[in-house]
Structure 1
Amino acid sequence: MTRTPAPTPTGRLFGTPDGVDLVLTRTFRASVEDVWASVTEPERTARWYGRWEGEAGAGRLIKVQLAFEEGAPWVDMHIDACEAPIRLALSATDAFGNWHLELLLAVNDDGTTELGFVHHLVNADGVGDIGPGWEYYLDNLVASRDGTPKPEFDDYYPAQKAYFEEQAAAL
């Protein structure tokens, strides 16, 4: 059996006045509206991240089931901003910390849609654990849209940990 090459990490860390941003991008040959649906519609988010319940809209609280985490736990997420089809900002607090996430969509000159995923961090602590997870989830999104096999988390972690830790050390 031929094994596919390990995925190459793409995330970058940027210092900000408020901390550190972990930024990952993916490009899709699809309309911005279609990509927006992939990151906002419960039946589509279930394919790559987890389903969610509740009433969507800025200022609202939803429940998200993390389908690819051990035990498939439910997490309360606050919708901080929802500007269809270009910006979604979410926040949550769980046993692992505070999560401030932003999804930014833009149409490129060639008609493709770029998804910019930003995890706003207070500092770079733990980014060696966080970065590979987001790489996995976004590649899971790509696979769910393309109809290709889903990635294996073991191909991302701990293999990509050093990549993110080196960026953190350089900040």
Structure 2
Amino acid sequence: MTDPTDPIASAGLVTREIRTGERDGEPTKVLVARRAYRADQADVWDALTSAERLPRWFLPVSGDLEVGGRYQFEGNAGGVVERCDAPDSLAVTWEFGGGMSWLEVRLSKLEGGTSLELVHEAPVDPEMWRQFGPGAVGVGWDGAIHGLGVHLATGVPLDPAAFEAFMVSPEGVAYARLLAGAWAEAAIADGDDPEAAQAAAEAVVGFYTTLPEESPEA
């Protein structure tokens, strides 16, 4: 049985897909990640939507967590809750750095657990996509999906400092390379050039495994 606290082992529990889409006449990229958890759907839903539980595996959240309300994750994205169909799906705008994208999470029952599907649709910045591909966003979502799995399996809050230290270790670099490579393969399946996709994946590895003070730009 896979150890839910092992990032590298749990990476293999996620299936990843990239689609080319369109919203309001503008091209988009749609990132899809799916994973099954050995937890009841009601428990997974509560972990995803409870302001008290979200900081244990993701980030502190503030605001009005109701349809039409605005939310804000500490130091990260905020937006508007567009739909909430408990305990099956929720949809929010994802606003960060002046950009707007759309996030939907869907849950469904499985024998012995719950299936989660995360769908993140964003406008295409061709230069950013060329440089980093889907891994720039995908690796971050992989971390969240892993954190949720640890929380559901153990109930123990994640230690952000410990995870940051892990990411700059040799094991963390291997983890980042595994994730970035998986997202590159998803992009190639959607039609991206294989050589360019793999180069972008390596850039993503550097982004996620370099401490800010070690960055050449720092």
Q: Aligned pair in 2 of structure 1 residues 149, 159: CA closer, same or farther (>3 Å)?
A: farther
After TM superposition, give the deviation of residue 111 of structure 1 in Å.
4.6
> 1:22, 1:14 → 2: CA distance?
7
After TM superposition, give the deviation of residue 35 of structure 1 in Å.
0.9
Contact 1:136 1:153 in 2 (8 A): no
Relative to its length, the structure with more strand (as a share) is 1
Amino acid at match of 1:136: G
Amino acid at match of 1:118: V
Amino acid at match of 1:32: Q
Q: Give the alignment's Cα RMSD to 1 decimal.
A: 2.6
SS at match of 1:85: coil
Consecutive unaligned residues of structure 2, counting only runs of 5 or more, are 1-5, 191-218
Amino acid at match of 1:169: I
Alignment correspondent of 1:87? 89
> 1:84, 1:160 → 2: CA distance?
30
Amino acid at match of 1:162: G
Q: Aligned pair in 2 of structure 1 residues 157, 149: CA closer, same or farther (>3 Å)?
A: farther
Give me the TM-score of the superposition, normalised by structure 2.
Answer: 0.63
Map residues 89-168 of structure 1 onto 2, 5 A cutoff: 89-95=91-97, 97-108=99-110, 110-123=111-124, 125=129, 126-147=133-154, 152-154=166-168, 155=172, 156-168=175-187
Give me the TM-score of the superposition, normalised by structure 1.
Answer: 0.79
After TM superposition, give the deviation of residue 81 of structure 1 in Å.
0.9
After TM superposition, give the deviation of residue 52 of structure 1 in Å.
1.2
1:10 aligns with 2:15: yes
> 1:31, 1:159 → 2: CA distance?
29
> 1:81, 1:28 → 2: CA distance?
23
- The higher-RCO structure (CA 8 Å, 6+ apart) is 1
State the identity %: 26
Bigger radius of gyration among the two: 2
Relative to its length, the structure with more helix (as a share) is 2
Contact 1:129 1:157 in 2 (8 A): no
Contact 1:59 1:79 in 2 (8 A): yes
> 1:96, 1:163 → 2: CA distance?
28
**1:30-64: per-residue Cα shift (whole Å, max 9, x none)?**
22211100100011111111121222211110121
SS at match of 1:132: helix
After TM superposition, give the deviation of residue 96 of structure 1 in Å.
7.2
Alignment correspondent of 1:78? 80
Q: Aligned pair in 2 of structure 1 residues 10, 96: CA closer, same or farther (>3 Å)?
A: farther
Contact 1:25 1:116 in 2 (8 A): yes
Q: Aligned pair in 2 of structure 1 residues 104, 153: CA closer, same or farther (>3 Å)?
A: farther
Consecutive unaligned residues of structure 1, counting only runs of 5 or more, are 66-72
Amino acid at match of 1:105: L
Amino acid at match of 1:115: L
Alignment correspondent of 2:36? 27
Contact 1:10 1:135 in 2 (8 A): no
